[in-house]
Chain A
């Protein structure tokens, strides 16, 4: 809360500095803008950032390290016996102090010592914050002052700003990359721990998935089997059903939109199709569970087939509907990108619409269509909600779409919900599944992007 106020103060400093810096630049050349190296606003921004950035850096330091600093000071003030506790107990103790300081529930009876420790903690926190806040404001003011003083017609503020923007963009993309790297590496670390419990070959090639393990060493129970094949087979089955529906429908509707629909019809249908993409997957899920699955079941009964109320078919059908807009809008883009001159050439040679579509447009757009297909596939593979609700949890290894199957994502969900012991093979296996899933979708996306890139070079 206080940090926000502080940032507000910094913004005020920056704004003032902007106005003054800009004014100073204009004044230095007597109002003749072309005598300045850069535009007046560049000088304004230069001064503003000179005032804002140093303060911002100090605030960031506070946000990142302030907590640890306050903890350590509090700890130092506490007695010997607390400092000599084991790491784990000390962390717990500090937690209680912190919670007490904000009047939250704590894990032990509230004693006088604890109370005074909490008070000490709050006080320290406040003091340290003010030290940071005042130095942020002070340094920002000084830096703004020097920034403004530097403003002169020769100052290349435009170039400086340009470089700053570059750094900013680099930082932003670094954040995205680092996050991915962080997630993947944590997946890898936990997966390695899982592999201490279960051999890699069992995980990759085992045909039985039943992750129940004994919770306590003295408990009788199965040791669990972690063969992931049934899960990947289930995923594959549902994905194939979904693509079987979505590819023709999506592609043909894209062809209709681009080649046949009048502008008015297009303006009507396109948003409608894209509306499909906006439906939350959980809604698709209960549509699958409450409408599609029973319908499949009763139509199966009508022809004398015994069909489970949860089936791969129901989940696959609904998932197919869900990814239609993805395929159709991506294909729509690549088909529209086929140059009009190619259509003209084909029509000019006396080809009909269908001939032109089959011989010219689809082959030209094929790489794009393939990559749309792959992106849709990785979307289907990662989908969870529909499958949980419509395909069930049973890890059957089957190619029969009328049976219940389960998928990788559903199992991850099942493994990690509810009370879990973190170090059991059962919990850890979720991370191994996650990593495997990630590898597959990464591979699909990689291929899709490669194809798209090749495709972009095609028309000069």
Chain B
């Protein structure tokens, strides 16, 4: 638990994630252009912008998921608590254990609910005993607000849950490895309003313990859950600041057009 102590000291001096002059290309497509961004700790940062502007691409670069796409290249620097995550010395596997990810489409494994949550702890050796593992699974499901709904059927397949439950299962699966940062790419876009409200509530709770970066297409959602907002446009960040500031008093004309729905 000394990690937490270190974190608090660092919080004062530096952001959790700092992107400097980041450029990302898919073959010839220049998807991210010279992006600089500081993501503060223990807060929700929303990435908004029109479709195809590079939000997902940027998000995926924070835990190096883009490495799995052969055509993807990146230049510039992204640091996590000061460590360059693209440094040769960095182990991607460990990085992804520190920076978890929740995807747009709920994607539970075709395994039991228990095994879904236990998957990460097992591969990272986080549990010393079966009781330990049970505990991690319990805590994660509890935190994701799913425990009461599934406690009697932990051995049924995760794929048999409803859409909203699946997404919460995916969140539980991510927090089970106790990451420092959670990346969420449109986590509610496949859900109905009630399931969305539950997840938004969950995000608000989770930010007490995790740094959260969320991509969303819903302005209301960004306004409700986030403290910081970055507006992406054609691969660039046009505006970044406090959410309240951006939504009430945007400085850039394009941001204003976008959040008021006038963007074509």
Binding site for B on A (CB under 8 A): 262-263, 339, 341-352, 355, 359-360, 363-364, 458-460
* Known contacts A359-B119, A359-B123, A347 near B65 by CB under 8 Å: yes
B123 and A341 within 8 A (CB): no
B96 and A349 within 8 A (CB): yes
B residues within 8 A CB of A262?
70
**B241: Cβ under 8 A from any A Cβ:** no
* Distance of A350 Cα from B93 Cα, bound (Å): 4
Binding site for A on B (CB under 8 A): 63, 65, 68, 70, 92-97, 100-101, 103, 105, 107-111, 119-120, 123-124, 159, 170, 173-174, 177
A348 and B93 within 8 A (CB): no
* Known contacts A341-B107, A364-B110, A350 near B124 by CB under 8 Å: yes
A residues within 8 A CB of B103?
341, 344-345, 348
B174 and A363 within 8 A (CB): no
* Known contacts A262-B70, A263-B70, A460-B159, A349 near B123 by CB under 8 Å: yes
B68 and A349 within 8 A (CB): no
Contact residue among A343, A355, A363 (Cβ-Cβ distance under 8 Å from B68): A343
* Distance of A347 Cα from B63 Cα, bound (Å): 10
A348 and B109 within 8 A (CB): no
B residues within 8 A CB of A263?
70
A residues within 8 A CB of B65?
344, 347-348
Q: Report the minimum CB–CB distance from B104 to chain A (whole Å).
A: 9
Q: Report the minimum CB–CB distance from A111 to chain B (whole Å).
A: 81
Number of A-B contacts (CB under 8 A): 71
A residues within 8 A CB of B110?
342, 363-364, 458-459
* A360, closest chain B residue (CB): B109
Q: Report the minimum CB–CB distance from A345 to chain B (whole Å).
A: 5
Contact residue among A341, A348, A364 (Cβ-Cβ distance under 8 Å from B105): A341
Knowing that A345-B109, A347-B68, A350-B92 touch, tell me 20 more A-B residue pairs with CB under 8 angstroms: A345-B103, A345-B107, A345-B108, A345-B170, A346-B109, A347-B65, A349-B123, A350-B94, A350-B124, A350-B177, A351-B119, A351-B120, A351-B123, A352-B93, A352-B123, A364-B109, A458-B159, A459-B110, A459-B159, A460-B159
Q: Report the minimum CB–CB distance from B99 to chain A (whole Å).
A: 9
* A343, closest chain B residue (CB): B68
Q: Report the minimum CB–CB distance from A457 to chain B (whole Å).
A: 11
B residues within 8 A CB of A346?
109, 119
B107 and A342 within 8 A (CB): yes
B94 and A344 within 8 A (CB): no
Q: Report the minimum CB–CB distance from A118 to chain B (whole Å).
A: 73
B93 and A351 within 8 A (CB): yes
12 chain-A/chain-B pairs, Cβ below 8 angstroms: A342-B110, A344-B107, A345-B107, A345-B108, A347-B68, A348-B63, A348-B100, A349-B173, A350-B177, A352-B93, A363-B111, A364-B109
A residues within 8 A CB of B120?
349-351
A350 and B107 within 8 A (CB): no
B residues within 8 A CB of A459?
110, 159
* Distance of A339 Cα from B97 Cα, bound (Å): 22
* Distance of A460 Cα from B108 Cα, bound (Å): 12
B residues within 8 A CB of A355?
123
A residues within 8 A CB of B111?
363
A348 and B123 within 8 A (CB): no
* Distance of A364 Cα from B111 Cα, bound (Å): 9
B residues within 8 A CB of A341?
103, 105, 107
* Distance of A87 Cα from B100 Cα, bound (Å): 86
* Distance of A355 Cα from B94 Cα, bound (Å): 14
* Distance of A458 Cα from B160 Cα, bound (Å): 10
Q: Report the minimum CB–CB distance from A241 to chain B (whole Å).
A: 33
Q: Report the minimum CB–CB distance from B83 to chain A (whole Å).
A: 16
* Known contacts A263-B70, A344-B68, A349 near B100 by CB under 8 Å: yes
Q: Report the minimum CB–CB distance from B61 to chain A (whole Å).
A: 13
Q: Report the minimum CB–CB distance from A13 to chain B (whole Å).
A: 57
Q: Report the minimum CB–CB distance from A31 to chain B (whole Å).
A: 42
B174 and A349 within 8 A (CB): yes
A residues within 8 A CB of B100?
348-349
* A344, closest chain B residue (CB): B103
Which of A344, A345, A350, A360 has the largest count of B CB atoms less than 10 A from its CB?
A: A350
* Known contacts A339-B107, A359-B119, A460-B159, A348 near B70 by CB under 8 Å: no
Q: Report the minimum CB–CB distance from B140 to chain A (whole Å).
A: 12
Which of B63, B70, B119 has the largest count of A CB atoms less than 10 A from its CB?
A: B119
B residues within 8 A CB of A347?
65, 68, 96
B residues within 8 A CB of A351?
93, 119-120, 123
A residues within 8 A CB of B174?
348-349
A350 and B109 within 8 A (CB): no
A350 and B123 within 8 A (CB): yes
Contact residue among A342, A349, A360, A458 (Cβ-Cβ distance under 8 Å from B177): A349
A residues within 8 A CB of B119?
346, 349, 351, 359
* Distance of A364 Cα from B108 Cα, bound (Å): 12
A residues within 8 A CB of B68?
343-344, 347
B101 and A348 within 8 A (CB): yes
B96 and A350 within 8 A (CB): yes
B123 and A342 within 8 A (CB): no
* Distance of A343 Cα from B70 Cα, bound (Å): 15
* Distance of A343 Cα from B96 Cα, bound (Å): 14
* B97, closest chain A residue (CB): A350
* B71, closest chain A residue (CB): A263
* Distance of A355 Cα from B170 Cα, bound (Å): 18
A residues within 8 A CB of B107?
339, 341-342, 344-345
* B173, closest chain A residue (CB): A349
* Distance of A351 Cα from B100 Cα, bound (Å): 11
Which of A347, A349, A352 has the largest count of B CB atoms less than 10 A from its CB?
A: A349
Q: Report the minimum CB–CB distance from B259 to chain A (whole Å).
A: 29
* Distance of A182 Cα from B79 Cα, bound (Å): 72
